[in-house]
Each structure stands twice: as structure tokens, then as C-alpha cells.
Amino acid sequence: MPWYKSGTVSVTQNSNAVIGAGTAFIANSRVGDAFRGPDGGWYEVTNIASDTAMSISPNYQSATNAAGSYAVAPMQGYVKDSADALRSLVNQWGQKLAALGTTGNYEILPISKGGTGGATSGEALTALGFSNFGKSLIDDADAAAGRATLVAAKSGQNSDITEITGLSKPLTIAQGGVSPGYIEGLLLSWNSANSLSVGTGAAYIPGTGKVVQVAAALTLSALSLAANTWYHIYLYDNAGVAAIEAVTIAPATPYFSRARNKNSDSSRRYLGSMVTNSSAQLHKIIHLQNSTVFYLESLNLAPFLVVAGAATAFTAVDCSSIVPLTSKEAKTNYLLTTNVGNAFIANSEVNFTPSASNYLLAITLGSSGSADLVLDASQRFTYALDATPGSGLFRVRVSGYRFER
């Protein structure tokens, strides 16, 4: 390799110091190299202090020279560039390589040594404990392929979701779900004096926060009933199966809009009520979609005939024996057969004093018909005639009611 000759040197007779100008001794000379001084003499490089200072041996023999030419020649018997490259590699990576210890003894570095344990990506993932599912997901080219592997729907507006089943918590109204008062179908049916059914449909159960669906009619038979007693029918979830019960425990006040549950038991959703007669037999009814119930009984006698009188002072009429506490609207037929006077109807909750000029409904002499009477909270209305008749009576029969559920 060429000798190094860049710059000039200053040497002093009988001194071992060589001071360079424009020199780079560190990168281009080594201890043991030969130094040819300005006098043409040869000396050994004994120390390299910096790019501009080195020491020689023996001391410089000739006359002092402040800017003489010189040369440094390698005399070690090695390829200097290779040695320099190796030194640089050792300086940069020696400690790091030493820290790897025995890891250098493997063609495929095991996981215990910080490697992947595989020659290919598939082998590496297997060695790292990835399942086939996980490897497939990692191998997916894009998000759409990843969703296909996950069997997952895209977020935001999309057409991926076509059906939702098995939710542990129903969607809220804001999410497009049903309201807490949701009910559809589930109409009551009279089967016999001691048997009733609930038809198909579904309803929200407040205690569980879920909708219970009735896929086929549910029937209660051979009921043990008491006379002149209201029985309230409730829907509930019996370990994942829709079920009903008929009990005397009344429903609570509405928990949402007009929806009710059993008093002190939000796991039971109120569906409707049925009442027994004096012989402990269920009165026959028909339940319509708009929460209206009509009695399929003779209305000429009690308890359906609620008025057969001629009072001239407003008199309270109690309908609670045939109108449940969940209703404030009685379906009625009326007939006024007195020889004089008109009839007027109100209730205890009106914001006026009932009279012949203040009323909810007026019935003229000799008339008959049907009317929906507004009841108070105790299922009562009031009536009065404006004249004492010499003959005849005012009659009101309750044919049904509309209720809340």
C-alpha cells in the first residue's frame, strides 16, 4: 500500500517529537510503522498522540527542520485496510456481539434466545404460539379480508349487518331498538270458566331489559279461583322460555308511558286482567288490539248494570267490580226512560262542580245509545237527573273498558 506523505513535519535534533502540519497521523499510521525523516534517515514510530503529533525512536539525528518532507511506511506485514476495518467493526459491534453469547451458534435463532424459531413467517408464527386463526388474520391483505376472517361487520354505515340475534342487552331507542314500553300482540283469551290463554306476540320486560317473544299461545288451565276477584296476567322469562301467570297481585303504576309491571316485581310485564263472578268463574271477554276489552255476557244484571236509578243529586257509581284499576274508560250502554228530565254525567276529578250546565256527558229524555265514560282513579263516575221523574229510570250498563298495559 502507498506510504503516507501528506503535509510537512517539524523535527528537532536529538528530540523524539515529530510535529505535523496538514497531517492525519491517527488514520494513516500505526505504532511500529517506519518514519523517514527530512534527513532521509529511518526511524520507528513509537507513539501517535494525535493527527499532528507522534514520537519516534531513536531521537532525530540530523539538523533541526521546521517544515520538512517525510514519509510513513507500514512495516507490520499485514494488510492495513483490513486491520483498520476489523478494528472499526470491533469498536462498533464488539460489546453487542459479546452480549449475544451463544446465540451465534444457531442457524435459526430459537425463541428462548430472542429469535422467532422458524425459517419462514409461517414457521415463526407457529413457534411463537399463533393459532391457525391468528396466522390467517395476520396474513390477510387488507381490512376487508380481516373482517371476513373475523366474521365481523364493518363499523359505521354499511351493508355488512343483515341480522342481529342473541343480544344480551337490547338496543336502545336511539340505536333503533324498541322502547321500554314495547308490547305487540299478547291478547287475552277466555277459554272456559277456569282457563285463559295469551296469544302470540312480544313485550319488553323491564326487570331484565329484554324482549320476551311468545311464538305460540300460552294457556293456564284448571285455575283455582276465588269469587268476585280480579286476576292480573303477567308475562315473564322462565329460564329463557316465555311464561305467564295469573295472580291477584295488582300491577304497579306505569314505569314507562302506559306500560306496567307487577307490583314490586319488574320481572313480570302486565298484559291484562280478568275478573270472576260470584261463582268463581271467569267472565267471558274478547280482547281487541287497541287494549279494549268487551264482555260477552248478559248486561241486564249486576255487576254490569251499574245504574238503575233516578237520583237528582250527583251520585257516585263504582265500576271497579268490572273495570280494572288499569282503566279509566268504561264502555257503556245507556237508556233514559223517565217521564221527565235529562241525565248528566261527570266524575270526581273534573275541574268544575257538576250540574245541569257543567258535565262531561248529557243524555236527553227518552234517548239510548253507547258512550265511553271517563272514570276517576277509583273507576267511578257520577250522574244526576235534572228533575224528579214520576216514572221510569236511568240505566247504565258497562259492556267493556279500555285499559293501559
Task: Chunk the chain into consecutive blocks of 10 residues (it has 405) and report each block's average pLDDT, rounded to whole numbers.
Answer: 93 97 96 96 97 97 97 75 76 74 70 81 85 87 86 77 71 82 97 98 95 97 98 97 98 97 98 98 95 96 96 98 98 97 96 96 96 97 97 97 97
pLDDT at 81: 66
Distances (CA, A) of 114 to 131, 167, 248: 20, 44, 73
Do 279 and 315 sit in the same domain of this protein? no
Q: 57, 80, 103 — which closes off a domain?
A: 80
- Which residue has cell 446465540? 103
Q: Catalogue the E-assigned strands of 240-311.
A: 241-247, 261-262, 265-275, 285-287, 292-295, 305-309
pLDDT at 93: 80
Cα 63 to its chain centre, rounded Å, is 96
Q: Cell 221527565 belongs to which residue? A: 340
Whole-angstrom Cα distance, residue 331 to residue 108?
89
> Residue 123 — φ and ψ, nearest 5°?
-65, -40
Burial of 290 by CB count in 10 Å (0-12 exposed, 13-18 middle, 19+ buried)? exposed
In a domain, 348, yes or no: yes
User: Is residue 255 classed as helix, strand or coil in its secondary structure?
Assistant: coil
Domain end point (choices 233, 258, 287): 287
Q: What angle do CA 268, 200, 238 make, to 5 degrees?
A: 35
Q: Grid cell 267493556 — which residue?
A: 400
The verdict on residue 154 lying in a domain is no
Are 265 and 312 found together in one domain?
Answer: no
Give the end of a domain, one of 228, 253, 287.
Answer: 287
Which candidate, 242, 187, 257, places its Cα nearest to that of 210?
A: 242
Residues 6+ apart with CB under 8 A from 55: 16, 17, 18, 45, 46, 47, 49
Q: What is the pTM of this model?
A: 0.63
Tell me: do 362 and 273 sit in the same domain. Answer: no
Q: What angle do CA 274, 279, 282 make, to 5 degrees?
A: 20
Domain count, the chain: 3
The pLDDT score that the predictor gives to residue 387 is: 96
In a domain, 271, yes or no: yes
List the beta bridge partners of residue 310: none
| 321 within a domain of the structure (yes/no) | yes
Task: Answer whether residue 246 is part of any domain.
Answer: yes
Are 302 and 278 contained in the same domain?
Answer: no
Supply the range of the domain harboring residue 72: 8-80
Nearest in space to 233 (alpha carbons), one of 214, 257, 215: 214
Bridge partners of 47, per DSSP, are: 55
Q: What is the CATH number of the domain that holds 187?
A: 2.80.20.10
Question: CA-to-CA distance for 348 and 54, rounded, in angstroms?
Answer: 121
The grid coordinates of residue 194 equal 277456569
Residues 299, 305: contact at Cβ < 8 Å? yes
Q: What is the Cα–Cα distance from 68 to 52, expressed in whole angstroms?
A: 14
Q: What CATH code is carried by the domain that includes residue 304?
A: 2.60.120
pLDDT at residue number 42: 96
